[in-house]
Amino acid sequence: MNILGIETSCDETSASVVKNGRTLLSNVVASSLSDHQKYGGIIPEIASRRQLEFITIVTMKALSSAGLKLTDIDAIAYTKKPGLIGSLLVGISFANSLSFALNKPLIPVNHIHAHIYANFLVDKAKDKGQDLFSELPLPAIGLVVSGGHSSLFSIKNFQSFRVFGQTRDDAAGEAYDKVARILDLGYPGGPVIDKLSRTVKDNDIRFLCAPLAGTNDFSFSGIKTAVLYYKQKHGAKKDFSIPRVAHAFQEGVVNILVEKSLLACQKRKAKTLLVGGGVAANTILRSRLEARGREVGIRVSFPAMSLCMDNAAMVAGLAYHCQRPSVKNAVLC
């Protein structure tokens, strides 16, 4: 079953074809990031306008890369929520139009659930016949960390995602962007802070996230404010080091993510942790979680780097496991 996925929840415009919910036949992403960088964040109006320009081109490129025609598509999946309302409307309208014109089933998908599902996708060029569905057994715990979300999920199966922990203020990726702005590092903040942090070996600066003891929730607003106050107090000193501040910030964020997600696995007796979202591309988070997971007997899985950011492949992949609805009674997966 070949499913065409459409993803337009934020600033990316993406189309992808996935076979049988697993094999990635194509994944095309057009980003308007360069248009937003001078503003230090996403401008919704600019994002949706770019998506209107890109979506047809991106979709036809995805079909061409997959070696398919529109008539070869068995169903169309799209991101219904969450996201920027203008951006979502572009994808929803486009997917509905295709579904109507081709008389193909329409499958709405939750963007956050799809980030977790990205762990199960395999590139057609690298597929050696391995069964990822058995290698990553369910039930599992899911951790989604991105610019807009930081949440823990209990995953019973591909139709059952239940939130049991989330940020009470800023998302982890949002905190990265705000700290980067404080340190005059530009936008987006995640990649540059990660890069700077890897240059630091010894550091006596410490920033901590609020532990919120007894809960599965996160809080990243306080550590962002701590960085601001530290710069205001020490920024004019000769020994002030932006890399050391960035390193201390990242250590605080990574430590709480590792601690809470693995503890959640132990409490719920889950042997699998599935991580998704833009911050899942952070090199320190990946290495730290995998190492600590091995120590406590928990399999930690990350998507390929290219599938951590917003993409339509994760949408098309998860849609395969959803109820196959008709156009009129589409059900959100």
33 by DSSP, 3-state: which?
A: helix
- The CA-CA-CA angle for residues 179, 217, 172, to 5°, reads 20
Q: What is the pLDDT of residue 333?
A: 64
Distance CA 18, CA 267 (A): 34
143-170: average pLDDT: 95
Q: What is the pLDDT of residue 136?
A: 86
Contact 131, 122 (CB under 8 A): no
pLDDT band at 77 (very low <50, low <70, confident <90, very high): very high
pLDDT per position as a tens digit, 12-46: 999 999 999 999 999 999 999 889 888 888 999 99
Neighbour tally for 127: CB within 10 Å: 14
DSSP assignment of 42-64, as one string?
--HHHHHHHHHHHHHHHHHHHHH
Chain Cα centroid distance, residue 309: 5
**What is the torsional sign of CA 198, 144, 222, 12?**
positive
For the cut 90, the answer to whether the pLDDT of residue 247 exceeds it is yes
Contact 10, 24 (CB under 8 A): no
Contact 301, 289 (CB under 8 A): no
Buried b (16+ CB within 10 A) or exposed e, 275-312: bbbbbbbbebbbebbbeebeeeebbbbbbeeebbbbbb
Q: Which residue has the higher pLDDT, 141 or 127?
A: 141
Lowest mean pLDDT among 49-63, 133-147, 298-312: 133-147
Is there a shared CATH topology between the 2-121+308-319 domain and the 135-302 domain? yes
In terms of Cα–Cα distance, which of 145, 259, 249, 146 is closest to 200? 249
- Architecture category of domain 2-121+308-319 in CATH: 2-Layer Sandwich (3.30)
In terms of Cα–Cα distance, which of 286, 220, 281 is closest to 258? 286
**What is the torsional sign of CA 171, 12, 117, 281?**
negative
The residue ranges of every structural domain in the chain are: 2-121+308-319, 135-302
Mean pLDDT of the chain: 93
**Domain 135-302 falls in which CATH fold?**
Nucleotidyltransferase; domain 5 (3.30.420)
163-186: average pLDDT: 96
Chain Cα centroid distance, residue 170: 15
The whole model's pTM is what?
0.92
pLDDT per position as a tens digit, 271-298: 999 999 999 999 999 999 999 999 999 9
162-187: average pLDDT: 96
Q: What is the DSSP letter of 5?
A: E
